[in-house]
Structure 1
Amino acid sequence: MNARFFVDLPLGPAGQELDLPAGAARHVQVLRAQPGDVLTLFDGRADLAWQAEVLLMGRAQVRVRLLSFQAIERELPRPLHLALVMPANDRMDFLVEKATELGVTSIQPLMSERSVLRLSGERAEKKRAHWQGVAQAAAEQCGRVRVPSIAAVQALSAWLNSLGPAEGSLRRLLLSPQAQGLQAAEGAEGVLSLSGPEGGLSPAEEALAQAAGFAPIGLGPRILRADTAPLALLAWWGLR
Structure 2
Amino acid sequence: MSRIYLAQAREEGDTVALEDAAFRHVARVLRMRVGDRLTVFNGQGSEFAARITQMERHAAHVQLEARREANTESPLHSSLLQAVGKGERMDWALQKATELGISAIQPVLTARCNVKLDAERWAKKQAHWQGVLIAACEQSGRLRIPELRPVAKLDDILDACTATLRLVLAPQSGRAPIEAVSTVDSVALLVGPEGGLNDEEIRRAEASGFQSWQIGPRTLRTETAPMVALALLQQRFGDYGPPSDSGSATVRQRN
Tell me the TM-score normalized by structure 1. 0.91
Compared CA separation, residues 210 and 182, structure 1 to 2 (3 A):
closer
**Aligned residue number for residue 239 of structure 1:** 235
1:65-144 to structure 2, matched below 5 A, reads: 65-144=63-142
State whether structure 2 residue 176 is matched by structure 1 residue 178: no
**Aligned residue number for residue 145 of structure 1:** 143
Contact 1:78 1:190 in 2 (8 A): yes
Alpha-carbon offset, residue 238 of structure 1: 2.0
State whether structure 2 residue 194 is matched by structure 1 residue 195: no
Contact 1:177 1:223 in 2 (8 A): yes
1:24-103 to structure 2, matched below 5 A, reads: 24-30=22-28, 31-46=30-45, 48-103=46-101
The whole-number CA distance in structure 1 between the counterparts of 2:208 and 2:187 is 14
- Residues 185-230 of structure 1 show CA distances to partners (whole Å, capped at 9, x for unaligned) of 7333321111111222122111111111111111011111111111
The whole-number CA distance in structure 2 between the counterparts of 1:65 and 1:74 is 24
Contact 2:44 2:145 in 1 (8 A): no
- Name the aligned partner's letter for residue 177 of structure 1: P
The whole-number CA distance in structure 1 between the counterparts of 2:199 and 2:229 is 22
Q: Secondary structure at the match of 1:231?
A: helix
- Name the aligned partner's letter for residue 176 of structure 1: A
Tell me the TM-score normalized by structure 2. 0.86
**Aligned residue number for residue 250 of structure 2:** none
Alpha-carbon offset, residue 136 of structure 1: 0.5
Compared CA separation, residues 21 and 138, structure 1 to 2 (3 A):
same
Aligned residues between the structures: 233
Runs of 5+ unmatched residues, structure 1: none
The whole-number CA distance in structure 1 between the counterparts of 2:4 and 2:33 is 16
Alpha-carbon offset, residue 239 of structure 1: 2.8
Contact 1:124 1:152 in 2 (8 A): no
Runs of 5+ unmatched residues, structure 2: 237-255
Alpha-carbon offset, residue 140 of structure 1: 0.6
- Name the aligned partner's letter for residue 36 of structure 1: G
The whole-number CA distance in structure 1 between the counterparts of 2:168 and 2:88 is 24
Contact 2:33 2:52 in 1 (8 A): yes
Compared CA separation, residues 192 and 120, structure 1 to 2 (3 A):
farther
Compared CA separation, residues 7 and 170, structure 1 to 2 (3 A):
farther
- Residues 47-68 of structure 1 show CA distances to partners (whole Å, capped at 9, x for unaligned) of x320111111111111111111
Amino-acid identity (%): 37
Q: Secondary structure at the match of 2:48?
A: strand
